[in-house]
Amino acid sequence: MDISVKIAITAPDGVVHEHEIAAFEKGCESAAEIGLSIGDSKELLLNLQREIVAAQAAAFCSARSTCPCCAGKLRHKGNKPVQYRTVFGDIPIDSPRFYHCHCHAGSAQTFSPLTMLLPRPYRARNALAGNQMGIFGLIRRHSGFAQRCAANRRATER
């Protein structure tokens, strides 16, 4: 039988986006064919995560694509791909870049809204953000893991 898993995400503007996140072809003649395999579940969760992260990033950037002072639409400079690491795998995100509005002076000519949402360390190295770190984050934080890593890094840099 063919099994299709679809999700619907309603954006802040009320538009509903529907996506198929997984499709499985399953038999039903042996115990090995019954239910999802670990591989199926990993694919399902990674695809689900990819759609959720993309929708959240798009909503965040869309809300920052107008000038906070004059409400004018900001000029789009282009997109740059960034990787966001999650417990389910790395998620590529298209990160838009906008020119600051001429109505006020900014410190830089352009900015990328996602740098406000996903600070550089989360995008590049430590990528398991806040609540995604779960129990592993708590163990690392309270076991002195981070301090030992920093000490090891300092020792190897000498």
For Zn ion, the binding residues (CB under 5 A) are 67, 69-70, 72, 101, 103
Residues 102 and 104: their CA atoms lie apart, in Å, by 5
Residues 36 and 42: their CA atoms lie apart, in Å, by 10
Nearest CB to Zn ion, comparing residues 54 and 61: 61
Nearest CB to Zn ion, comparing residues 15 and 69: 69
Percent of the chain that is helix, strand, coil (3-state, to 5): 40, 30, 30
Whole-number minimum distance, CB 13 to Zn ion, in Å? 21
CB distance 53 to 46 below 8 Å: no
C-alpha pair distances (Å), 87 with each of 34, 128, 130: 26, 7, 11
Nearest CB to Zn ion, comparing residues 16 and 69: 69
**Strand, helix or coil for residue 28:** coil
Whole-number minimum distance, CB 12 to Zn ion, in Å? 21
Residues 128 and 121: their CA atoms lie apart, in Å, by 10
Q: Determine phi and psi for 153, rounding to 5 degrees.
A: -65, -45
Whole-number minimum distance, CB 106 to Zn ion, in Å? 10
Whole-number minimum distance, CB 64 to Zn ion, in Å? 13
Nearest CB to Zn ion, comparing residues 69 and 155: 69
Whole-number minimum distance, CB 74 to Zn ion, in Å? 8
Nearest CB to Zn ion, comparing residues 32 and 69: 69
